[in-house]
Amino acid sequence: MVLPAFNEAACLGRLLEHLDEDLTEAGLPYQIIVVDDGSTDGTDAIAREYAARMPVSLVRHPQNLGLGAAIRDGLKHAADAAAPRDIIVTMDADDTHTPGLILRMSRMIYEGHDVVIASRYQPGSRTIGVPLHRRALSWGGSMLLRVVFPIQGVRDFTCGFRAYRAGVIQAALAQYGDAFLDQEGFQCMVDILLKLRRMHLIFGEVPFILRYDIKEGASKMRVGRTISRTLQLMLRRRLGG
- 113-141 pLDDT tens trace: 999 999 999 999 988 887 787 788 888 88
The pLDDT score that the predictor gives to residue 184 is: 85
pTM of the model: 0.91
Q: Kindly report the average pLDDT of the chain as a whole number.
A: 91
Tens digit of pLDDT for each residue in 55-102?
999 999 999 999 999 999 999 999 999 999 999 999 999 988 999 999
Full domain range(s) for residue 229: 2-238
Q: How confident is the model at residue 19 (pLDDT cuts 50, 70, 90)?
A: very high
Among the ranges given (29-38, 122-131, 166-175, 207-216), the one the predictor scored with the smallest mean pLDDT: 207-216
CATH number, domain containing residue 63: 3.90.550.10
Q: How many other C-beta atoms are found inside a 10 Å radius of the C-beta of residue 80?
A: 9
Count of domains observed in the chain: 1
Q: Give the whole-angstrom CA distance, residue 207 versus residue 108.
A: 13
Tens digit of pLDDT for each residue in 179-191?
999 998 889 999 9
Answer yes or no: is pLDDT of 240 > 90.
no
Write phi, then psi, for 120 (nearest 5 degrees): -85, 0
The residues, any chain, with a CB within 8 Å of residue 235's CB and separated by 6 or more, are none
The residues, any chain, with a CB within 8 Å of residue 214's CB and separated by 6 or more, are 95, 96, 129
Q: Give the CA distances from residue 65 to residues 39, 60, 72, 164, 184, in Å, rounded to whole numbers and listed in that order.
A: 10, 11, 11, 24, 7
Q: What is the mean pLDDT of residues 169-174?
A: 98
Q: How confident is the model at residue 235 (pLDDT cuts 50, 70, 90)?
A: confident
* Percent of the chain whose predicted confidence (pLDDT) is above 70: 95
What's the one-letter identity of residue 9?
A: A
Give the long-range contacts of residues 175-184, CB within 8 A, separation 24 or more: 175/199, 181/68, 181/71, 181/72, 181/75, 181/76, 182/68, 182/72, 183/68, 183/229, 183/233, 184/65, 184/66, 184/67, 184/68, 184/69
Residue whose C-alpha is closest to residue 44's, from 58, 30, 54: 58
